Amino acid sequence: MATNAKYWTALGDPTRRTIFELLVERPCSVSGLARALPVTRPAVSQHLKVLREAGLVADTRSGKERIYRIDPDGLAGLRAEIDRFWLKTLAAYKLAVEQPTKDET
């Protein structure tokens, strides 16, 4: 089963993770996000572009602004990716624990 690297890549940047976390709390404009972060509006826009291309956020026009929100489909994909990662990790741990040690052989 192949991993979906787009989620890991998009959220690998601390600023993008912070933007994502802010949007989990509530939808927001670029200006609103820029006020909450130590980065410029153009930088926020670039981060939002990466998140949007990964399918994690969506936007709608509201007057002159675009309001960004979490995309439920992208969030479901991220959740599935995390679940796959967790299951693989648990399976590897189970194998490691069940391996006989040198003292047991």
Q: Length of the chain, please?
A: 105
Domain definitions of the chain by residue range? 5-97
CATH code at 5-97: 1.10.10.10
- Residue 17 is inside which H or E element, if any? helix 14-25
Is the pLDDT at 105 greater than 70? The verdict is no
pTM: 0.79
pLDDT in tens, 22-32: 999 999 999 99
* 52-91 pLDDT, tens digit each: 999 999 999 999 999 999 999 999 999 998 888 888 888 8
Instruction: List, in sequence order, every beta strand (DSSP E) within the chain.
Output: 28-29, 57-62, 65-70
Share of the chain above pLDDT 90, in %: 67
Instruction: Of 58, 59, 55, give the one whose Cα is nearest residue 74.
Output: 55
- Bridge partners for 70 per DSSP: 57
Q: Mean pLDDT in the chain?
A: 90
Confidence of residue 1 (pLDDT cuts 50, 70, 90): very low
